[in-house]
Amino acid sequence: MADKHELRDKGLRLTPQRELVLSAVRELGHATPEEVAEQVRATHPGINLSTVYRNLETLENVGLVQHTHLGHGGATYHAAEELTHLHLVCSDCGSVGDAPIGAAANFVQNLADDYGFKTDVTHFAVYGLCAACVK
């Protein structure tokens, strides 16, 4: 896998644990560190939670994963290549929906034009009520 380069280029190593964490994030779509740990442990029970935390941080520095705040507190991790959508978090039922980045294009443009603010659309969650809960 090409991920190897991203790591090596920064003097980092590709360990089995690191591969497992990365593939867990890719499989899960979005996941908290706890969920990643659980997923990894399904096949490799010995892996320590702090290793998961450290690897998520490392992989984020390298650019292979990214985190988003979905609100409740902790961060949620995504594989970097999947970060092409916004998160619509329902304040009622807690579900997390997706919307393409394009939906925010004019909003981002507004902020750039009026405030010089360069919005990172992938990093924030959008709160509100999902279609199901609006009813």
Partner DNA sequence: GCCGAAGTTGCGAAGGACTTGCAAGTAGCA
Partner DNA sequence: TGCTACTTGCAAGTCCTTCGCAACTTCGGC
* Binding residue for DNA, selected from 2, 42, 46, 114, defined by CB under 7 A: 46
In this structure, the chain runs to a length of: 135
Q: Tell me whether residue 36 is exposed, middle or buried, using C-beta atoms within 10 angstroms of its C-beta: 0 to 12, 13 to 18, 19 or more.
A: buried
95 binds a copy of itself (CB under 8 A): no
68 binds DNA (CB under 7 A): no
69 binds a copy of itself (CB under 8 A): yes
Binders of a copy of itself: how many residues, by CB under 8 A? Answer: 31
124 binds DNA (CB under 7 A): no
Binders of DNA: how many residues, by CB under 7 A? Answer: 28
28 binds a copy of itself (CB under 8 A): no
Compare residues 15 and 110 and give the one whose CB is closer to a copy of itself. Answer: 110
117 binds a copy of itself (CB under 8 A): yes
Please write down the long-range contacts of 91-98, taking CB distance under 8 Å and 24 or more positions apart: 91/127, 91/128, 91/129, 92/129, 92/130, 92/133, 93/130, 93/132, 93/133, 95/130, 95/132, 96/30, 96/70, 96/125, 97/130
- Work out how close the CB of 28 gets to DNA at its nearest, in angstroms, rounded to a whole number: 14
